[in-house]
Amino acid sequence: MNDTMSLSQRADALEAKMARELDYIVIKSRLYSMAEGDMGPPPNAGALMRDNPNARVLMGDDPRLPVMPERPTLMDFFKYRFGPCMHLLQSARHAVKADLPEKMVLACLLHDISTIGLIRGDHGYWGAQLVEPYVDEEVTWAIRAHQVLRFYPDESVGYEYPQSYVAAFGKDYRPDPYIEEDYKRMRNHKWYMSGRQITVHDIYSFDPNVHVELEEFTDIIGRNFRQPEQGLGFDNSPVAHMWRAMIRPAKYL
Q: How confident is the model at residue 20, as a pLDDT?
A: 54
28 backbone dihedrals φ, ψ, rounded to 5°: -70, 145
Shared-domain flag, residues 105 and 152? yes
Comparing 3-7, 26-30, 59-63, 83-87, the range with the smallest average pLDDT is: 3-7
Shared-domain flag, residues 151 and 188? yes
Comparing 11-20, 156-165, 209-218, the range with the smallest average pLDDT is: 11-20
Tell me which residue range forms the domain holding 24: 7-57
Shared-domain flag, residues 102 and 15? no
> Domain containing 90 — which CATH number?
1.10.3210
Select from 238, 235, 234, 233 the least CA-distant residue to 117.
Answer: 233
Rounded CA Rg of the chain: 21
Shared-domain flag, residues 26 and 84? no
152: three-class secondary structure by DSSP: coil
Question: What's the mean pLDDT when you consider all of the chain?
Answer: 92
d(CA 174, CA 221): 36
String of DSSP letters for 48-70: HHHHSTT-EE--S--TTSPPPPS
CB-based contact 131:110 (threshold 8 Å): yes
Shared-domain flag, residues 118 and 93? yes
Mean pLDDT for 19-27 is 70
126: three-class secondary structure by DSSP: helix
Shared-domain flag, residues 87 and 207? yes
pLDDT confidence band for 1 (50 / 70 / 90): very low
Using the predicted structure, report yes or no on whether residue 2 has a pLDDT greater than 70: no
Comparing 21-30, 113-122, 167-176, 213-222, the range with the smallest average pLDDT is: 21-30
Select from 228, 230, 225, 229 the least CA-distant residue to 113.
Answer: 225
Residue 2 located in a structural domain: no
How many Cβ atoms from other residues are within 10 Å of residue 131's Cβ? Answer: 23
d(CA 134, CA 117): 17
Using the predicted structure, report yes or no on whether residue 187 has a pLDDT greater than 50: yes
Q: What is the pLDDT of residues 31-71, one digit of tens each?
A: 888 988 989 988 888 888 888 888 888 899 999 999 999 99
Overall domain count for the chain: 2
Using the predicted structure, report yes or no on whether residue 202 has a pLDDT greater than 60: yes
How many Cβ atoms from other residues are within 10 Å of residue 7's Cβ? Answer: 10
Portion of the chain with pLDDT greater than 90, in percent? 73
How many Cβ atoms from other residues are within 10 Å of residue 159's Cβ? Answer: 18
